[in-house]
């Protein structure tokens, strides 16, 4: 088995990916600056199960400052999940952080990869590059029209990946994740906020009227697709969705059913940059990577509810960076 590098290794998706790679038999180097939405303590808890694994090495460093040439020595494959997330926070002066974390970091990593012997590079992108979709699933060659600075930053990073593929021969694959949920989901994201408020017996706060439609993808399905991309010949861009769509109001119904309770729901203005609908066409990823989502929405929400209850730590009300619908951030 080869040596894998995972950036954003202590995050929601990154920590699950590292666990799967270790279980599969890979040696893994995980990089994370332990910054961003989640507290240092929460991110450390994400890695608690694997922190003592002999085949895992954790590097707590900023990717803008890290010696990437040295880090990539002996690495066969790279999964780049580190990013600045969140739609609402990407407007205004904070956009500079998105340029640094989503664009500059990706370019710096691509530059190092172009001088390395890495066999495969997988870049975790977002359904936000599409913007809102019509009443049909988007294919990978659909029009790209981001509705937020966050989505634009992910699209810019995708363009950088394509440039380094064409000009420098970097062996890359791009995955566009659609609303990822499950255990360890960021506390500011919709499903965690809804579950936490319901457990505390507080009203659920929803941006907009709750009729926004989302393609929901359970964390283990996202990991399946990412591992498949790391093991397949590097080529192309793929949607990674869960095969399940639901409105926000339907998500709340699922939460209430899983908890066996009813909750009060209050509605507010829609979030700036929010999109009305996401919907992934999964034909290409199924054909090329053999990906098929396996976890139903009902199963996935129950698993997330059970995990939150088992933790004994219910996240408090989200702060100003909460996004009622965004689910692609890592």
pLDDT tens-digit series, residues 68-80: 999 999 999 999 9
Buried b (16+ CB within 10 A) or exposed e, 260-292: eeebebeeeebbebbbebbbbbbebbbebbebe
Decide if domain 3-180+217-240 falls under CATH 3.60.20.10: no
Relative to beta strand 244-247, strand 213-218 is antiparallel
Cβ(211)–Cβ(150) below 8 Å: no
* Fold agreement (3-180+217-240, 182-214+243-278+294-311): no
Cβ(57)–Cβ(243) below 8 Å: no
Cβ(32)–Cβ(62) below 8 Å: no
Domain ranges of the chain: 3-180+217-240, 182-214+243-278+294-311
For residue 220, give both structure tokens: 């283990």
> What is the per-residue pLDDT for 162?
98
Which residues belong to the active site? 150
**Closest residue by Cα to residue 173 from 140, 145, 198:** 140
CATH architecture of 182-214+243-278+294-311: Alpha-Beta Complex (3.90)
Distance CA 268, CA 209 (A): 7
Distance CA 34, CA 9 (A): 9
Place of tokens 């192309």: 236
The dihedral built from the CA positions of residue 3, 38, 153 and 101, taken in this order, carries a sign that is negative
Model confidence at 326: pLDDT above 70:
no
pTM: 0.93
pLDDT tens sequence across 171-203:
999 999 999 999 999 988 999 999 999 999 999
pLDDT tens sequence across 1-41:
789 999 999 999 999 999 999 999 999 999 999 876 557 88
Distance CA 121, CA 235 (A): 10
Model confidence at 207: pLDDT above 60:
yes
């Amino acid at each position: 088995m080869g040596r894998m590098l995972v950036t954003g290794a202590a995050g929601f998706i990154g920590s699950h990916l590292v666990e799967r790679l270790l279980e599969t038999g890979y040696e893994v180097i995980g990089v994370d600056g332990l910054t961003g939405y989640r507290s240092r303590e929460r991110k450390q808890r994400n890695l608690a199960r694997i922190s003592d694994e002999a085949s895992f090495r954790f590097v707590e460093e900023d990717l803008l400052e890290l010696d990437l040439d040295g880090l990539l020595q002996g690495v066969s494959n790279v999964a780049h999940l580190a990013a600045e997330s969140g739609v609402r926070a990407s407007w205004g002066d904070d956009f500079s952080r998105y340029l640094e974390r989503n664009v500059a970091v990706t370019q710096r990593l691509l530059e190092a990869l172009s001088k390395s012997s890495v066999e495969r590079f997988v870049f975790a992108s977002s359904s936000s590059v599409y913007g809102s979709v019509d009443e049909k699933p988007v294919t990978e060659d659909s029009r790209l029209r981001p509705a937020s600075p966050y989505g634009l930053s992910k699209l810019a990073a995708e363009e950088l990946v394509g440039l380094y593929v064409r000009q420098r021969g970097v062996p890359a694959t791009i995955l566009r994740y659609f609303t990822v949920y499950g255990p360890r989901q960021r506390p500011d994201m919709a499903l965690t906020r809804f579950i936490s408020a319901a457990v505390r017996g507080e009203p659920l706060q929803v941006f907009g009227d709750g009729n926004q439609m989302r393609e929901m993808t359970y964390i283990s399905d996202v990991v399946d697709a990412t591992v498949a991309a790391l093991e397949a010949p590097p080529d192309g861009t793929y949607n990674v969705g869960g095969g399940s769509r639901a409105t926000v109001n339907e998500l709340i119904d699922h939460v209430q059913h899983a908890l066996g309770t009813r909750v009060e729901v209050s509605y507010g203005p829609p979030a700036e940059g929010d999109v009305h609908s996401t919907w992934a066409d999964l034909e290409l990823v199924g054909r090329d990577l053999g990906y098929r989502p396996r976890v139903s929405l009902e199963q996935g929400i129950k698993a997330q509810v059970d995990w939150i209850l088992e933790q004994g730590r219910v996240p408090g009300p989200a702060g100003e960076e909460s996004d009622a619908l965004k689910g692609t951030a890592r």
